[in-house]
Amino acid sequence: LPYLIDGTHKITQSNAILRYIARKHNLCGESEKEQIREDILENQFMQLAKLCYDPDFEKLKPEYLQALPEMLKLYSQFLGKQPWFLGDKITFVDFIAYDVLERNQVFEPSCLDAFPNLKDFISRFEGLEKISAYMKSSRFLPRPVFTKMAVWGNK
């Protein structure tokens, strides 16, 4: 169970921790419209993680792969020509988006080929100064994708 202790705050659950850190560092949408988009995207992006932890993974995988292009098309439309999913400002949703899109590329390497804006998003995210420095450091571990409890991506 992930947890964070920050001063007097004791927080459990991945998304609660993520949102707490995002609020603390001004990485949230500001308008109600942006916050609604955040909520939609945050929930939508969790589908792959659910699949990879499902004991019926092998049975569900073909259906997921069949639906993947349409799902990525929706993400592509949602992003549009914006640099980030909520517009010009990076938010915590972009961190989730990067994680999920990158995982999908591991799952199905050519999945983003039809979506140049999503590929550009990946490059833009990896090009952020601190992200780039981290990814070049010895602390960066590209795999495993998921924890040992996952059926896929745990090695």
Residue 16, in any domain of the structure: no
Alpha helices in 4-143 (DSSP H): 14-24, 32-44, 47-53, 57-79, 92-107, 116-126, 129-136
Q: Is 52 exposed, middle or buried (0-12, 13-18, 19+ CB in 10 A)?
A: buried
Domain of 104 in residue numbering reads as 29-136
The Cα 147–Cα 155 span in angstroms is: 8
Give me the CATH number covering residue 121: 1.20.1050.10
Number of domains in the chain: 1
pTM of the model: 0.84
> Is 85 a member of any domain?
yes
Q: What is the pLDDT of residues 104-145, one digit of tens each?
A: 888 889 999 999 999 999 999 999 999 999 999 988 877 655
Q: C-alpha angle 121/101/41, rounded to 5°?
A: 85
d(CA 61, CA 103): 14
Per residue in 38-74, pLDDT (tens digit) is 999 988 887 666 776 778 888 888 998 899 999 999 9
Is 118 a member of any domain?
Answer: yes
Residue 36 domain-assigned (yes or no)? yes
